[in-house]
Amino acid sequence: MSEADQKLKLRTAAFDARFPNTNQTKHCWQNYVDYYKCVNARGEDFEPCKQFYRAFHSLCPNEWIEKWDTEREEGTNPSNFAI
């Protein structure tokens, strides 16, 4: 194995008992919302927030993330990202 192969660790989101079904759409959405709630409460450098970030990037299609980011920036996203 090369040095680059040894450093790269690919992981998917861990099992979450709240979402036992095959369809992970709600799991994807909840991690997206939890990430921005965490960032709003603690800041982007707070290490536990990064777990939500990794999870929703692992679970959600990029098109959804881009759409939700646009809606969040425009203030039209239906979720409340405040604590």
Domain boundaries, the chain: 24-74
Other beta carbons less than 10 A from residue 72's beta carbon: 15
Q: Is 0.95 surpassed by the pTM of this model?
A: no
Tokens representing 38 are 């965490």
Query: In whole angstroms, how far apart are CA 19 and each of 6, 16, 61, 73?
Result: 32, 6, 18, 28
CA–CA separation, 30 and 20 (whole Å): 14
* pLDDT in the model for residue 13: 73
* pLDDT in the model for residue 14: 73
Print pLDDT tens along the chain (83 aa). 556 556 767 677 777 777 666 677 888 999 999 999 999 999 888 999 999 999 999 999 999 999 999 998 888 887 877 65
Query: Per the CATH hierarchy, to which homologous superfamily does domain 24-74 belong?
Result: Cytochrome c oxidase, subunit VIb (1.10.10.140)
